[in-house]
A = this chain, B = another copy of it.
Amino acid sequence: MSAPSDPVIRPPDRPLRADAARNHAAILAAARAALEADGPDVALEEVARRAGVAPSTLYRRFAGRDELVAAVLEDYVAESVEPLLARAAAVDDPWTALTGVLEGLVDGVTRHRGLLTAAKAVGAFTPELAARTLAPLGELLRRGQAAGVVRADLEPTDLLVVVHMTVVTAEHDSRRWPRYLNLLLDGMAARRG
């Protein structure tokens, strides 16, 4: 019942060996690509194939599908979403900041539908992860409402819902989502008195 070389619980002090780190990164990249190309249910075998490693190696790095998807998601958020949110926070005009971040989110997510679907399926959206994006998003919303350009009854989660709504339109026509986002933005703008 001991753990001879437990792949999951890894002492954070000892760094990965060079080749192991390479594989780790290759698997993450391969998983992201595979989720897009082959859908949210890709076989881990296929991910391993794309990464150029044996399936057993994948299982040594990640305990299973859940952990792999969670890692890919974490990777994506840290690399794409958070910088976007940070840039938006630096924009002066609240409306521009808000629409810009929504456009950026939709644009990114439409290119990672497979990942997001898989993440939902395995429950990779932890409260912590959600909070990390909702907090800055809520701040943008608050600024817009304070400036009187955004409807007062909107909540931070509404913004995620709006992103989700816009993203699904890409299934019908991948190039017309700005049209539908504008439809929603129309509804979100404060009513002119």
Q: Assess A157 versus B172: contact at CB under 8 Å? Given A165-B165, A165-B166.
A: yes
Closest to A184 in B: B183
Let me know if A169 is at the binding interface, CB within 8 A: yes
Give which listed residue, B164, B169, B171, B172, contacts A172 with CB less than 8 A: B164
Give every chain B residue within 8 A of A157 (Cβ-Cβ).
172
Is A26 in contact with chain B by the CB < 8 A criterion?
A: no
Q: How far is the CA of A69 from the CA of B169 in the complex (A)?
A: 23
A190 on interface, CB distance cutoff 8 Å:
no
Interface size range on A against B: 10 to 19
Q: Are A164 and B171 in touch, CB under 8 angstroms?
A: yes
- The residue that A184 contacts in the complex, of B164, B168, B171, B187, with Cβ under 8 A, is B187
Contact pattern, A 160-193, Cβ under 8 Å of B = 1, otherwise 0 = 1100111011011000000010111011100000
Which A residues are within 8 Å of any B CB, using their own CB? 120, 157, 160-161, 164-166, 168-169, 171-172, 180, 182-184, 186-188
